[in-house]
């Protein structure tokens, strides 16, 4: 493993940031209504120079009121799921682990739906009520990963195969519970909730929720990054890591709680977008290696690129209609999951 330098880290992140910028420009340009590069550049320059008019143009409404907010949301969701998936794969030493496969996304979705159902009966102030769904998603994710962790234990240690099977079974049970809960909500909300569960970035967020999501992401991702060196040592096994001075119990708690926060926040605002936490870490690992001090930030950029690209395709493939973002990520993620499973069995 090469020694980490700030220059190496910044160069890799800068390269991915350039790719993300190109994808964002394409996402702003493409859609049901095509925006020319000239019109896009003109509106961005006007915005940068604060040259706004009382009657905004159609391009301005499309770019700043519709597309740019969902692109920013896609960046956050993709980065959160990719960082959570990378940390789960390292901690559990299982290349198939990610929030979706382990059932954490489904658990977060159950928590979000329950919070949505009980919120009207609590009589909370609007500023407080908007926080109930992210809190429910986080609690659902945390309870799910705790249950999967207990199922995966054997003689006090994590058995990778048992844990993966426990996650798949848990996800199946939670998906059945989601179907039950959907039948208990009103018909008016049923269609929108079903589409949201398959991945939806079109719902605008209130300003106070945006700040909570941003702060939550940086705190949780930063907490996971503090364990990057320990995750490198854990790849050799828990006993070996303990002999090398790693506090495995502390690393488990930090990663499980922080990854659950990232998953819960992502699911609460976008639904269950699958396979991002599985696909992106493997791609970044093939390109940049397995040093988690580099892998975690590059996975965040890679996840943002993947989700923004998937959302752009979801908006353009059947334009003026729209597909769920989760359907686009599944088209790429499911074949990779099968390939990894076959290679692991071989």
How many domains does the structure of the chain reveal?
1
152 phi and psi, to 5 degrees? -85, 0
Rg of the Cα trace of the chain?
Answer: 20
Q: Average pLDDT for residues 314-337, to the nearest whole number?
A: 82
pLDDT at res. 55: 44
Please, which contacts does 176-183 make with residues 24 or more away whose CB atoms are closer than 8 Å? Answer: 177/110, 178/106, 178/109, 178/110, 178/113, 181/110, 181/113, 181/114, 181/117, 182/113
> Is 14 contained in some domain?
no
> Is 54 contained in some domain?
no
> Is 167 contained in some domain?
yes
- DSSP string computed for 201-268: --SPPPHHHHHHHHHHHHHHHHHHHTTHHHHHHHTT-HHHHHHTT--HHHHHHHHHHHHHHHHHHHHH
Omega of the bond prior to 37 within 30 degrees of 0, cis? no
CATH code (residue 220)? 1.10.3470.10
Provide the residue range defining the domain that includes 115: 77-345
> Is 16 contained in some domain?
no
Cβ atoms of residues 174 and 103 within 8 Å: yes
d(CA 40, CA 175): 41
Q: pLDDT (tens digit, 9 = 90+) per residue, 242-251?
A: 888 888 889 9
d(CA 183, CA 26): 39
> Is 48 contained in some domain?
no
Percentage of residues of the chain with pLDDT beyond 70: 90
Q: What is the largest CA-CA distance in the chain?
A: 68
Q: Which of 114, 76, 105, 120 is nearest to 211 (CA)?
A: 76
> Is 270 contained in some domain?
yes
pLDDT at res. 209: 74
Task: Return the bridge partners of 154, or none.
Answer: 157
d(CA 101, CA 85): 10
pLDDT at res. 24: 93
Count the residues in the chain: 346
d(CA 299, CA 305): 10
Q: pLDDT (tens digit, 9 = 90+) per residue, 183-201?
A: 887 766 666 677 777 788 8
Residue 271: burial class (beta carbons within 10 Å; 0-12, 13-18, 19+): buried
> Is 57 contained in some domain?
no
Given pLDDT bands bounded at 50, 70 and 90, which one contains residue 57? low
CB atoms within 10 A of CB 128: 11
- Residue 28: pLDDT above 70? yes
> Is 60 contained in some domain?
no
pTM for this one?
Answer: 0.87
- DSSP string computed for 32-98: SS---HHHHHHHHHHHHTT---SS--HHHIIIIIIIHHHHHHHHHHHHHHHHHHHHHHHHHT-TT--
pLDDT at res. 191: 62
pLDDT at res. 56: 53
């Amino acid at each position: 493993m090469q020694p980490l330098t700030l220059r190496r880290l910044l160069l890799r992140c800068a390269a991915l940031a350039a790719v993300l910028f190109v994808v964002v420009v394409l996402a702003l340009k493409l859609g049901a209504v095509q925006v020319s590069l000239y019109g896009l550049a003109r509106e961005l320059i006007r915005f940068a120079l604060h040259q706004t008019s009382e009657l905004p143009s159609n391009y301005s409404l499309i770019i700043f009121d519709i597309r740019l907010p969902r692109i920013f949301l896609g960046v956050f969701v993709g980065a959160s799921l990719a960082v959570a998936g990378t940390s789960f794969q390292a901690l559990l030493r299982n290349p198939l682990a990610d929030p979706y496969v382990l059932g954490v996304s489904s658990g977060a979705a159950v928590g979000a739906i329950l919070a949505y159902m009980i919120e009207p009966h609590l009589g909370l102030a609007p500023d407080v009520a908007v926080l109930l769904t992210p809190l429910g998603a986080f609690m659902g994710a945390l309870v799910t990963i705790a249950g999967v962790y207990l199922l995966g234990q054997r003689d006090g240690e994590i058995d990778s195969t048992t844990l993966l099977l426990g996650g798949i079974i848990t996800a199946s049970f939670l998906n059945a519970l989601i179907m039950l809960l959907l039948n208990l909500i009103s018909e008016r909300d049923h269609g929108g909730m079903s589409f949201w569960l398959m991945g939806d970035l079109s719902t605008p967020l209130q300003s106070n929720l945006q700040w909570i999501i941003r702060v939550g992401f940086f705190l949780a991702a930063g907490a996971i990054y503090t364990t990057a060196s320990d995750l490198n040592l854990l790849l050799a096994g828990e006993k070996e890591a303990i002999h090398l001075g790693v506090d495995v119990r502390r690393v488990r708690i930090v990663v499980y709680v922080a990854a659950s926060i990232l998953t819960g926040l992502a699911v609460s605002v976008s639904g269950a977008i699958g396979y991002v936490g599985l696909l992106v870490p493997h791609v970044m690992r093939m390109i940049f290696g397995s040093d988690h001090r580099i892998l975690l930030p590059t996975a965040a950029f890679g996840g943002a690129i993947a989700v923004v690209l998937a959302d752009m395709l979801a908006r353009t493939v059947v334009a003026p209609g729209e597909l769920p973002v989760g359907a686009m990520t599944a088209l790429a993620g499911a074949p990779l999951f099968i390939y990894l499973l076959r290679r692991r069995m071989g």
